[in-house]
Amino acid sequence: MEGPQPDLCYTIWFSQRTGSTLLCEALGSTGVAGRPAEWLNDRDPRTTTLRDLQEMLRAGTTQGGVFGLKYGPDQRFGQWIQTFRRELALPPEMPRPDVWQAMFPNSRHLYMTRRNKVRLAVSWWRAIVSGEWHRRHGQAPQDGDLQGRYSFDAINHLFAECSLREAAIEEFFAEGGILPLTLVYEDFIRDYEGTVRAVLTHLDLPTRVPVAPPAFTRLADALTEEWVQRFREERQAGWSNTFW
């Protein structure tokens, strides 16, 4: 690829509600880890050109030569692989992880997950119906009445979808023999700064740098817990053995 190239690229692979935006804010605050963001989301893989990709890399790379990308595979994942093959003139049989490496040189991989998939699905549905995906510290809650917005079918769908999204990511890793740094949401929120510094270590970046406090406040509340317990009971209704 022509033009200036980052010395190091890393991808934050995620499904929804795993703390990926919080991590991007934290890494960006260090000044040494690029400007990680969802750089592919506002682009159409069918019309994106090599010049567009080069501009994306330049926009996301900081002075130290680090580019960070946050990416959650969706139905366009295959289209992006095809676009990278086309624009970089790569052979059609090249495996997907090798294509990714060609597009994002010297790639490292982070994998964000969440142990409790029920709480993930409830958080995801709440964000969809409320429109409030994040709340910065000191920011007032968005107006909106969530009473009566519980939906077993919607949460059950998201419960399955998050697992399928993670399966897609893990299949990609297996295809390329990739061993990512796995970051678990429940651990991240308990040890925010320690997790950020572990990422810097994994990326071979300086660790003795300031890390900004968490940018967002927790959204879960009593209503969230009510939905979690209701879904837990309804999902296992009629089972001879219940597990939670």
Structure tokens at 227: 């939905």
Q: 190 to each of 168, 193, 194, 244, how far by Cα in Å?
A: 27, 9, 9, 23
pLDDT digits (tens, 9 = 90+) for 5-31: 799 999 999 999 999 999 999 999 999
The per-type count for the chain, helices as H runs and strands as E runs, is 9, 4
What pLDDT is attached to residue 143? 65
Asked if residue 4 has pLDDT above 70, the reply is: no
What pLDDT is attached to residue 63? 83
Average pLDDT over residues 200-222: 95
- The SS3 of residue 57 is helix
pLDDT digits (tens, 9 = 90+) for 122-171: 999 999 999 999 999 888 887 677 989 999 999 999 999 999 999 999 99
What pLDDT is attached to residue 37? 96
Asked if residue 212 has pLDDT above 70, the reply is: yes
What pLDDT is attached to residue 5? 76
Confidence grade of residue 2 (pLDDT, cut at 50, 70, 90): low
Amino acid at 70: K
In angstroms, the CA 11 to CA 9 distance is: 7
- Predicted TM-score (pTM) of the model is 0.94
Amino acid at 158: L
pLDDT digits (tens, 9 = 90+) for 52-80: 999 999 999 988 999 999 999 999 999 99
What pLDDT is attached to residue 50? 96
What pLDDT is attached to residue 19? 97
Point out which residues pair with 111 in neighbouring strands.
13, 182
CB under 8 Å to 109, separation ≥6 — which residues? Answer: 10, 11, 13, 173, 178, 180, 181
What is the CATH superfamily name and number for domain 8-115+135-145+177-218? P-loop containing nucleotide triphosphate hydrolases (3.40.50.300)
Confidence grade of residue 207 (pLDDT, cut at 50, 70, 90): very high
pLDDT digits (tens, 9 = 90+) for 98-136: 999 999 999 999 999 999 999 999 999 999 999 999 999
Confidence grade of residue 1 (pLDDT, cut at 50, 70, 90): low
Please report, in angstroms and rounded to a whole number, the separation of the first and last CA atoms in the chain.
52
What pLDDT is attached to residue 138? 80
Domain ranges, ordered by start, for the chain: 8-115+135-145+177-218
Q: Among candidates 19, 22, 17, 9, which has minimal Cα distance to 165?
A: 17
Q: Among candidates 55, 57, 34, which has minimal Cα distance to 203?
A: 34
